[in-house]
Structure 1
Amino acid sequence: MRNLKIIATILLYICPFLSIHAQFSVDQNRLEKRIMDLAQFGIQENGETERVAFSDADVAAQKWLIEQLKSMNIETHIDFAGNVIGIRKGTKPNLKPISFGSHIDRVPHGGNYDGCVGSMAALEVLQVFNENKVKTKHPLEIIIFSNEEGGVVGSRAIAGHLNKSAFSVKNSTGYTIGEGMMRLGGDTTRLSEVARKKGDVAAFLELHIEQGGTLEKENLEIGIVKGIVGLKWWDVEFNGFANHAGTTPMNARKDALLAASKFIIAVNEVATSLKGAQVATVGRITAEPGAPNVIPGHVITSLEIRDLSSEVIEKVYTAIQKRAEKISKESGIEITFKKLDTTADPAIMDSSIQSEIEQSAQSLGLSYKSMPSGAGHDAQDMAMITPTGMIFVPSKDGISHSPKEFTSATDMANGANVLLQTILALDNKLK
């Protein structure tokens, strides 16, 4: 027995961090209740929730969120981009904050978990710290970003990469981004004050549902995100010649839609023929004049390419261009590419933070894997200014951006506990 006490004393001396952290965890029932409470903002008669950024429901949910934070004695304010910012003081106020959070706005006809899990888990972690009188050296900063679904607007503003041309873009509420930020309590004339420089934040963490089916399929509990894919968009235009569908022989046609169809097949073939996890998608197509008795003379399609490597994105694009040139030569249809501004560069997550997330999962006895994120997130922009890490939890049947989106309370609590442990690990490690 005496030897066991000596060993225990040595372990406490060597690893005081582990002994403290194992004593508490998040309240699963309370976390689930907060998710359901948040879902009431924008609830419809059919039981589904609509809470697009800048809507009345979004504004009301933001006010509720602020009330929740203030009830925990968290210093809270809205920045000039409409982000909700809460600060829990550290014992060394000169240290930069460890930041964490997500978003609460939703796509039209979306679900209750995208963004909301990370946001409500962030609240839960702060409440657990308060209840257990946990003192951290670093200030802890919760950030609930504005309008993530409409172009990661809040996080882009913090990263200093929000283009003013975005202010005039309208979302489905009818408000422009500029008007919407004002509705949330922001001020577009003072956005420069929101932007942070490298070194202003010690680290950033985001917990999020996977929005895919990998974790569930492999029966895993935690995803450690190694990087968030970059994406690039183009409009691809096909110019042929509109003519009478009944009197123009098949061998005399310049059918823009036929050329576009061959292009779509080529996009799929290029993306699947190259080694790697890259994806390429044609998700939109319009044909003119759009009459059943007229050969389409003009077609526009979208083209999106995603990968963790900008070089791979460029390689896929070049291969697709070559296939388009071949289609154009064979069909006599002019094909042009127009690159769109709605793009994002790949963001690699910080390797040391990935290691801390892994150790946290291990200490909790949770299964995990390292994986990329195929969707964009606020963490993508935060990675431009601070070391960043991301934690995934499973999505039922891989469904997201749908009312059928679902993540179990157990999985949410697992992710929140990994978030909690990782925050404390970083507080112990970072200077």
Structure 2
Amino acid sequence: MIRRHFVQQAAALAALPALSRLGGTSHVGTAQAKPLVVNGARLNGWLTEFDRIGRTAGGINRVAYSEADLAGRAFTRRLFEQSGLTLRLDTAGNMLARVPGSDARLSPILVGSHIDSVTDGGNFDGPVGSFAAIEVARSLAEQKVRLRHPLEVVVWQNEEGGTIGSKIAVGLLTPADLDKVARSGKTVREGIGIVGGDVSRLNEAVRKQGDIAGYIELHIEQGGLLEKASRQIGVVEGIVGLRWFEITITGFSNHAGATPMDQRQDAMLAAAKFTVAVNDAIRSEGGRQVATVGRLNVTPNTTNVIPGQVVLTVDLRDLEQAKIDRFTATFERLGREIGAATNTAFAFSQMVNSTPALSDARIMDVVQGSATALGLSHQRMPSGAGHDAQEVAHIAPMGMIFIPSVGGISHSPKEFSRAADITNGANVLLNAVVAADRALG
């Protein structure tokens, strides 16, 4: 092992706080014999039971504010109660429980995720992190471990519809967001009331800088990097920034048979050239940047008429804001060049623009140190999907733990993570929380 790797591993192991038993209660001390472990069978049993809620022929359908979502929340409420946690709802409808720490001056360490699903989704995206957070709090109590910081468990509402619950919690939800329609057909405004919140008092749910000591979220990877590398744990470096464009390409509709090839203003041809150019540009340099042309609307969309207009979308993502900005300029330049070559006009408009959220170095270290202490293979990696952690990063240090998704599949009925990987992730979360209790001061 080269010296650099040895030093990194030693530092990671040192980040794990020790436990000493005093009067039947465990407190942070100076020497820990071995890492703590959760009850993995209990955690996976909860997930198996939960799989029945919202299960349809097409997959899991617990979309926000639906009857299945409410049933899922009722199930989760029972887990809080069975685990000895006192549940409260904030005015946004987020589910929360707080375990006091030994130092009342300290802000809480927050752990959790969400339980709502996409349409025809799977049972692991969200519930793994939510139920693991409950299991961590229960395991700490059962093993008589008391943290200095309070520990707060959260289940965010409507993550899949735009991280609504966490956006409210950090004060980023706009009045326009309240009128957006969720997959259930309910507006966010209606949905907040349905899940027990109060839209007239949303300001009471807002947290500010300093209110949270740190946030750690366990999640399935939603990709295949860990599986491909045969790694058990992903230490998330950050959540990619996202920029969506809608691009209108205007040409001229004319007869497909009577218009010579050199006299055409074919918007579809321009769209095809642009799609290939976007792909080539993204692949022309090293890195993890991605771009996707995902939707095309063609006018008049008729067999014997040259397309006069195409509206397409581009989804651009990367962990570096500078790279997102640079590729934005590249795509605009390509549009101008292809427009000139095809006698068409390109008009760009931004639909979504979110900045990258970088993980806190201290939390990455305690996650990595916990994985090392547990004997689990790991690697640092970005998250290509959005998460509630991205919102919390606006006001507090955050980090994420990934476990493998079989086949790299998510948002699908075939989404699956193995029980052993779920237990591994929960064990890393448990030990990372204990280590963060020391590292975050």
* TM-score bucket of the superposed structures, by smaller chain: over 0.9
Runs (4+) of structure 1 exceeding 4 A deviation are none
In structure 1, distance between residues paired with 2:397 and 2:211: 11
Q: Does 1:404 align with 2:414?
A: yes
1:126 positional shift: 1.4
Structure 2 equivalent of residue 4 of structure 1: none
Secondary structure of the residue aligned to 1:74 is coil
Q: Does 1:420 align with 2:430?
A: yes
Structure 2 equivalent of residue 6 of structure 1: none
1:12 positional shift: 8.3
Q: Does 1:387 align with 2:400?
A: no
In structure 2, distance between residues paired with 1:51 and 1:61: 7
Secondary structure of the residue aligned to 1:181 is helix
Secondary structure of the residue aligned to 2:88 is strand
1:425 positional shift: 1.0
The partner residue of 2:283 within 249, 254, 272 is 272
Secondary structure of the residue aligned to 1:141 is strand
Structure 1 equivalent of residue 25 of structure 2: none
Paired residue type of 2:290: V
- Deviation per CA, 1:22-75: give whole Å up to 9, x if none: 3x411121111111122221122x383211111111011112212221232312
1:19 positional shift: 2.3
Q: Does 1:369 align with 2:382?
A: no
Answer yes or no: is the 8 Å Cα contact 2:241–2:317 preserved in 1.
yes
Paired residue type of 1:19: Q
In structure 1, distance between residues paired with 2:344 and 2:64: 41
Question: How many residues matched?
Answer: 417
Answer yes or no: is the 8 Å Cα contact 1:159–1:381 preserved in 2.
yes
RMSD: 1.6
Secondary structure of the residue aligned to 2:60 is coil
Q: Does 1:237 align with 2:259?
A: no
Answer yes or no: is the 8 Å Cα contact 1:17–1:428 preserved in 2.
no
1:76 positional shift: 1.2
Structure 1 equivalent of residue 116 of structure 2: 105
In structure 1, distance between residues paired with 2:256 and 2:31: 75
Answer yes or no: is the 8 Å Cα contact 2:113–2:129 preserved in 1.
yes
Relative to the length of structure 1, the TM-score reads 0.93
Q: Provide structure 1 residue ranges, at least 5 long, that are not aligned to the other structure.
A: 1-10
Structure 2 equivalent of residue 34 of structure 1: 46
Relative to 1, partners in 2 of residues 1:47 and 1:268: Cα closer, same or farther, differing over 3 Å?
A: closer
Structure 1 equivalent of residue 154 of structure 2: 143
Answer yes or no: is the 8 Å Cα contact 1:17–1:425 preserved in 2.
no
Structure 1 equivalent of residue 265 of structure 2: 254
Q: Does 1:178 align with 2:168?
A: no
Relative to 1, partners in 2 of residues 1:256 and 1:427: Cα closer, same or farther, differing over 3 Å?
A: same
1:207 positional shift: 0.3
Secondary structure of the residue aligned to 1:226 is strand
Paired residue type of 2:44: E
Structure 1 equivalent of residue 388 of structure 2: 378
Paired residue type of 1:94: R
Secondary structure of the residue aligned to 2:59 is coil
Secondary structure of the residue aligned to 2:259 is coil
Equivalent pairs: percent with the same residue?
A: 44
In structure 2, distance between residues paired with 1:182 and 1:247: 60
Structure 2 equivalent of residue 91 of structure 1: 102
Answer yes or no: is the 8 Å Cα contact 1:279–1:305 preserved in 2.
yes
Structure 1 equivalent of residue 361 of structure 2: 351
Paired residue type of 1:275: G
Q: Does 1:333 align with 2:344?
A: yes
- Deviation per CA, 1:313-366: give whole Å up to 9, x if none: 0101111111111111111111100111x3321011000111111111111111
In structure 2, distance between residues paired with 1:21 and 1:146: 36
Structure 2 equivalent of residue 124 of structure 1: 135
Paired residue type of 2:71: A
Deviates more, 1:233-242 or 1:189-198: 189-198
Deviates more, 1:69-78 or 1:51-60: 69-78
The partner residue of 1:294 within 278, 288, 305 is 305
- Deviation per CA, 1:146-168: give whole Å up to 9, x if none: 11111111111111111111111
Paired residue type of 2:381: M
- Deviation per CA, 1:68-91: give whole Å up to 9, x if none: 212323121111222111111222
In structure 2, distance between residues paired with 1:430 and 1:373: 23
Q: Provide structure 2 residue ranges, at least 5 long, that are not aligned to the other structure.
A: 1-17, 21-27
